[in-house]
Amino acid sequence: MPDVVSSALAVVIEGPNGPQTYISLDAKGRATGFNGHVDLGTGITTALAQIVAEELDLPLSNVEIVLGDTARTPDQGPTIASETIQVAAIPLRKAAAQARNWLADRGARALNAPLGQVALKNGVVHWKDTQRSYADLLLDQKVTLIYDPDTPTKDPKDYTIVGTKTPRRDLEDKLRGAHLYIHDLHVEGMVHGHVLRPPYAGRDSGDFVGRSLIGYDERAVQDMPGFIAVVREADFLGVVAETAAQAQAIAEALPTRWRMPPNLPDMSKLADTIRHQPATPRVLDVTGDFDTALVQADHVKSRSYVWPYHEHGSIGPSCSIADWNGAQPIIWSGTQNPHVLRGDLAELVGLNAEAVEIRRYQAAGCYGRNCADDVGADALLLSRAVGRPVRVQLTRAQEHLWEPKGAAQVMDVQGGLKKARLDAYAIDTWYPSNRAPNLGLLLTGRVDPAPRPADMGDRTIVPPYDIANKRITVHDMAPIVRASWMRGVSALPNTFAHESFMDEMAFEAGEDPVAFRLKHLKDPRAMDLVRRTAEAAGYVPHNGPRLRREGRMAYGQGFAYATYVHGPFPGTAAAAAAWVVDVAVDLETGETTLSRVFVGQDQGLVINPDGVRQQIHGNVIQTASRVMAEEITFDEIAPTAQSWAAYPIQTFPAVPDIKTMLIERPDEPPLGVGESAAVPSAAAIANAIFDATGVRMREVPFTPEKLRRDLAVQAGGRVMLPAAQTHPARKSRKIGALVAALGGVLTLGAVSVPLHRSIPPTTPPTPATFSVETLARGKEVFALGDCAVCHTAEGGVKNAGGRAVPTPFGTVYTTNLTPDPETGLGRWSFEAFERAMRHGISREGHTLYPAFPYTSFAKIDGADMYALYAYLQTLPAVSAPTPKAQMIAPANLRNGVAAWNWLYHDATPFAPNPAQSEVWNRGKYLVEAAGHCSGCHAPRNGAGAEMPNMTGAVVEGWYAPPLEGLASVQMNWDEASLFAYLRKGHAPNASASGPMAEVIESLQEVPDPDIRAMSVYLASLMAPATESLPETRALPREADLPPSRASRLFESACASCHDPVFADSLTVARIPLTRAPALRAPTSEALMSVLNEGLRAPEGLDLRDMPSFRGEFSDADLTELTQYLRARFAPDLPAW
């Protein structure tokens, strides 16, 4: 125990594995306090330092606090239930007092003073005008005191440090970027792991857990850069590489096969599903005779209240580093439970707990059991396998999908009024949650994945009121999906039920809700809190909803009160809190604004008033978000949200005005404040909405959609908005039908039989014979046609062909354009080349598949064609045989393509229009011939041939917008903007993305005059026809749509870039979505491509990228979001 040895004075407790230090002082008189709890981001370190400094009479700056390291701190259990100040700080305070007594004693002797008469102040012992500093007294000392829990502590009225405003100690380092979070830690020699989780995301019971990985193919990835290992144990699978990016790339490329898990029960009917899961009722309180009282009551009500699943949603996904260290592993962790984690990890790797050391670092804010412990297991398994320290950083998706959720909960309440008093009350709570066994233990099969209930559904399950007849029952049940404690645990939903029902009963009794509560309270401290909060908040008593209206707005006020009770039943009370909340409800949109939240809180002695107020603010804001906006949705197998995209939380605009009142009780012990102010939230808000509208919300979250629905149903109000339009599901492409329809024209087979004469091989002219000008022009034509894109295989040599081109009829491969004699164009004469380019026939006489755009290239003039040929002959020769085409349905290509060519291929050369300028004709030539713009921008007929006009087309999932016709006029193109666009990829009215960005990259080789000519020609195509009305020439403004889930998804997933604060940021979209071609396409297919693929522009261009959103949305969300985007940003076009 190094801290015992190095300290001059230590107060220790004998533990099972030797002494554990609570307090140590060094020879300079500086103190260190050790606490087994951790700082979850609340600044608790500061409060603990205040406690130690107070008892030791030391300046605060001379006190350090060490939290959570298993080798240095006592095991005080997990940091849960707001216990740190209330429970875990007690030995710290007493140990500090014990050390102080020793110092007082020693000081008195040194000063020849009577024992007990010296004064201690700021680290100095005083007697009359003599003094000794702690440092003097501790010089050369080596004293160990055994902790005495009976040590008296300071009288709170003498406090000078506790109870005063004290700044956070860790903040300055955090502001400098100098604080080392677990994410920032670097361990010498560490490498990086990336885990692959099974398809049963977020599920932890059932016989498929730990038994679903069929196999993986390590050979497919072992040559990837940085590869170190693939590690598997049952369903645990991870890769290790030199860098994190490499590890992720390898993990994503690793082929794996998993068994699909069984479906979840129907999570869309949450309450019924939860009630029908196996559960064990535990009756906690039977007072009087509930059944009889209910029968004899004047008014009886049965109500159900439903709480959804929530994400903890730490802003930083969990991270950990582990060093196997020859079976003496060290794990650096952001855990909430260092000592629990140590036991779990020891079990995981078959060691004694003493062999495992957890070093605790701060992580992102933690509000309950997240993935912090799981990732420690990941890192440890990987480190053991490779024998090096391994860091694992979970992705946002892994954290969102796998974190033990804040559990859903159902509360069924029955109650009866007798003589305007609540005479009977029964609550049945279903809480499908447990303590979330470490995922590493489950995936490796170390623990049995049997459903395991826990007993945490009983927090604040007994209402605080004096009710003559009660029956309180919790139904203990295993999780349906991985779930565990989250801020407020079950007390928050239980209180939602109690305090909503009290309001409902006050209404039945015709009494004011606060007066009604007071009538049922006996505890004077509770009554004081309720009264003082109501008074200070300016609460307006009311019997029944007041329905205050002003135009479309309705205003209301709600009250709720609760004591957060934690720990095993009957539990321990933490601070009690009361809410008065004012709401404004927009009756047209259903939006509820919390205009003010007033919180009164009784926490006994206040250690750090600012810290307490911050905890209240945090509880109010976080819980308001949970209550108003948050809910996890599920598909058949797993939760759907992989990021904030599909799990929006409230942000700054929703933050209410918050007022706090701390009730001063310096003589009472300090009570935990980490969760209490959250507990009354949902009921207070529901009660306020009722006061405003007469509508009673019994299911969290209170979304605008629910309120719109309930305003119509419950209050008999008019339906404010039409139901969302339904649109037929996106039609999948019926390729099979097309194949059948085309059968008569195009029956394809192996491209093997020459149909045309072969042109004999020749030796082409040597490069030296081509003029510099010819070669330069050839390079431009090559760029204009963007030939390299198709003629370079993935990972292959540039222009050497071999790119697989899947078609509905099979796979063909592009050819080698380099002058290699055997496999490329090295033996092709210009005649052969020109025939291929103009007629789609290879040198040997094979018909080329019309994916090769010879229909456009036929229009290239002789000089350009020769220049292109010349340029290709100067490329470095690369031997690369073209793989053989693999066609389905072997048949007669001769009839097919020959007929197709006869029908659709016009090989006549380009003919200038004498009525137009030279530059216009030049532009038309470039666009139609080598540029082959029509290849994408012209729609095709049933046989796949281009239609004559470039009126826009969906091309393999991307939308090439119209280059002529009315729809193109709306985009306000002119020559200057076209030039800018084709030159740089960006103009004020458009920005290139997707395949077009690659085309722009290729066009970099094309000289300005040619770009200018294309701009002149295209501008003429897109000029407004004189007969078109001015209003049809402009794009519409975006539509103002009512709030919906889709609008929230947009705000959370898209708005930071598409409705940006700083429009000139490098990471925001350059053009508004009203101008986005994908949203103006005939179908949502192109939008889906953008969402799935993201956008990655060539690095050389000043364009923007967009991350992929593949898998981020459920099918239902995706449908709603795409329809919303269309309706909002292309309101002039038909809905999708």
Partner 1 sequence: MHTNILLTLGHIIAQSRKLMAKHGAKMKRTLTITLNGAEVTAEVPEHALLLDVLRETFGVNGPKYGCGKAQCGACTVLVDGVPARACVLMASRVSGARVTTLEGLVDPETGALSPVQQGFLDCEGAQCGYCLNGMVMTATALLKRRPDPNTEDIVQALRHNLCRCGTHKEIIASVKRAAELMRKRANA
User: Rule CB under 8 A: which of 1052-1071 touch partner 1?
Assistant: 1052-1053, 1055-1057, 1060-1062, 1064-1067
d(CA 996, CA 1126): 22
d(CA 856, CA 798): 23
Q: Considering beta carbons, is residue 252 or 298 the nearer one to partner 1?
A: 252
3-state SS of 552-593? Answer: CEEEEEEEEEEEEEECCCCCEEEEEEEEEEEEEEECCCCCEE
Per CB under 8 A, contacts with partner 1 among 796-835 are 803-808, 812
Least Å distance, CB 379 to partner 1, is 16
Q: Considering beta carbons, is residue 206 or 365 the nearer one to partner 1?
A: 365
Q: Considering beta carbons, is residue 363 or 711 the nearer one to partner 1?
A: 363
Per CB under 8 A, contacts with partner 1 among 19-58 are 40-43
State the number of CA atoms in the 13 A half-sphere of 674 facing the CB.
28
Q: In whole angstroms, how large is the CA radius of gyration of the chain?
A: 37
The answer to whether 308 and 267 have CB atoms below 8 angstroms apart is no
- To the nearest 10 degrees (0 to 180), the angle between helices 772-784 and 862-873 is 100
Bond preceding residue 570 cis, omega within 30 of 0: yes
Ordered alpha helix ranges (H), 958-1036? 966-969, 975-984, 995-1003, 1008-1021
Q: Does 982 bind partner 1 (CB under 8 A)?
A: no
Q: Are strands 9-15 and 143-146 parallel, antiparallel or unpaired?
A: parallel
Q: Does 170 bind partner 1 (CB under 8 A)?
A: yes
3-state DSSP assignment of residue 50:
helix
Least Å distance, CB 897 to partner 1, is 11
Q: Token pair for residue 503?
A: 């309001």
Binding mask 988-1027 for partner 1 (x = CB under 8 A): ------xx--xx----------------------------
- Among the listed residues 122, 771, 941, 1032, the single contact to partner 1 using CB under 8 A: 941
Least Å distance, CB 138 to partner 1, is 33
Least Å distance, CB 733 to partner 1, is 5
Least Å distance, CB 450 to partner 1, is 33
Query: In sequence order, what are the beta bridge partners of 35?
Result: 67
- Among the listed residues 465, 770, 958, 1017, the single contact to partner 1 using CB under 8 A: 958
Stretch touching partner 1 by CB under 8 A, among 51-59, 427-435, 1031-1039, 1101-1109: 1101-1109
CB atoms within 10 A of CB 670: 24
Per CB under 8 A, contacts with partner 1 among 1072-1091 are 1082, 1089
The answer to whether 685 and 555 have CB atoms below 8 angstroms apart is no
Stretch touching partner 1 by CB under 8 A, among 155-163, 598-606, 705-713, 1105-1113: 1105-1113
Residue 1094 gets the label, from left (phi > 0), alpha (psi -120 to 50) or beta, of left
Least Å distance, CB 208 to partner 1, is 28
Q: Considering beta carbons, is residue 121 or 734 the nearer one to partner 1?
A: 734
Q: Does 215 bind partner 1 (CB under 8 A)?
A: no
- Among the listed residues 519, 940, 984, 1033, the single contact to partner 1 using CB under 8 A: 940
Least Å distance, CB 586 to partner 1, is 18
Q: How far is CA 834 from the centre of its chain?
A: 55
Per CB under 8 A, contacts with partner 1 among 244-303 are 244-246, 249, 252-253
Q: Considering beta carbons, is residue 11 or 1014 the nearer one to partner 1?
A: 1014
Least Å distance, CB 805 to partner 1, is 5
Stretch touching partner 1 by CB under 8 A, among 63-71, 106-114, 937-945, 980-988: 937-945
Q: Does 939 bind partner 1 (CB under 8 A)?
A: yes
3-state SS of 499-521? Answer: HHHHHHHHHHHCCCHHHHHHHHC
Q: Does 548 bind partner 1 (CB under 8 A)?
A: no
Residue 899's nearest CA partner among 749, 738, 744, 753 is 744
Q: Are strands 421-432 and 390-393 parallel, antiparallel or unpaired?
A: unpaired
Residues in the chain: 1136
Query: In sequence order, what are the beta bridge partners of 422?
Result: 417
Per CB under 8 A, contacts with partner 1 among 384-403 are 393, 395-396
Q: Does 673 bind partner 1 (CB under 8 A)?
A: no
CB atoms within 10 A of CB 995: 17
Q: Token pair for residue 222?
A: 């072992």
3-state DSSP assignment of residue 240:
strand
Binding mask 228-247 for partner 1 (x = CB under 8 A): ---------------xxxx-
Binding mask 843-862 for partner 1 (x = CB under 8 A): ------xxx-x---------
Per CB under 8 A, contacts with partner 1 among 592-631 are 610, 614, 617-622, 625
Helix H or strand E encompassing 739: helix 735-742
Q: Considering beta carbons, is residue 445 or 944 the nearer one to partner 1?
A: 944
Least Å distance, CB 564 to partner 1, is 17
Stretch touching partner 1 by CB under 8 A, among 170-178, 257-265, 705-713, 717-725: 170-178
Binding mask 725-754 for partner 1 (x = CB under 8 A): --------xxx--x---x------------
- Among the listed residues 115, 139, 171, 1025, the single contact to partner 1 using CB under 8 A: 171
3-state DSSP assignment of residue 283:
strand
- To the nearest 10 degrees (0 to 180), the angle between helices 995-1003 and 975-984 is 90
Tokens 């220049």, located at residue: 867
d(CA 446, CA 234): 10
# residues contacting partner 1 (CB under 8 A)? 126
Binding mask 175-194 for partner 1 (x = CB under 8 A): xxxxxxx-xx----------
Per CB under 8 A, contacts with partner 1 among 101-120 are none
**Cα separation values, 885 from 420, 805, 843, 948, Å:** 86, 9, 17, 30
Q: Considering beta carbons, is residue 721 or 1055 the nearer one to partner 1?
A: 1055
Least Å distance, CB 743 to partner 1, is 12
Q: Considering beta carbons, is residue 520 or 617 the nearer one to partner 1?
A: 617
d(CA 324, CA 238): 16
Burial label, 90 (beta-carbon count in 10 A; 0-12, 13-18, 19+): middle
- Among the listed residues 145, 789, 848, 1035, the single contact to partner 1 using CB under 8 A: 789
- Among the listed residues 365, 567, 1024, 1042, the single contact to partner 1 using CB under 8 A: 365
Least Å distance, CB 237 to partner 1, is 18
Bond preceding residue 701 cis, omega within 30 of 0: yes
Least Å distance, CB 617 to partner 1, is 5
**Cα separation values, 1066 from 1057, 1097, 1102, Å:** 10, 13, 9
Q: CA-CA-CA-CA torsion for 393, 397, 402, 405, nearest 10 degrees?
A: 120
Stretch touching partner 1 by CB under 8 A, among 171-179, 352-360, 495-503, 970-978: 171-179
Q: How far is CA 975 from the centre of its chain?
A: 43
Query: In sequence order, what are the beta bridge partners of 406?
Result: 310, 484
Binding mask 306-325 for partner 1 (x = CB under 8 A): ------xxxxxx--------
- Among the listed residues 795, 914, 948, 1030, the single contact to partner 1 using CB under 8 A: 795
3-state DSSP assignment of residue 856:
helix
Per CB under 8 A, contacts with partner 1 among 853-912 are 853
Q: Considering beta carbons, is residue 166 or 429 the nearer one to partner 1?
A: 166
**End-to-end CA separation in angstroms for the chain:** 69
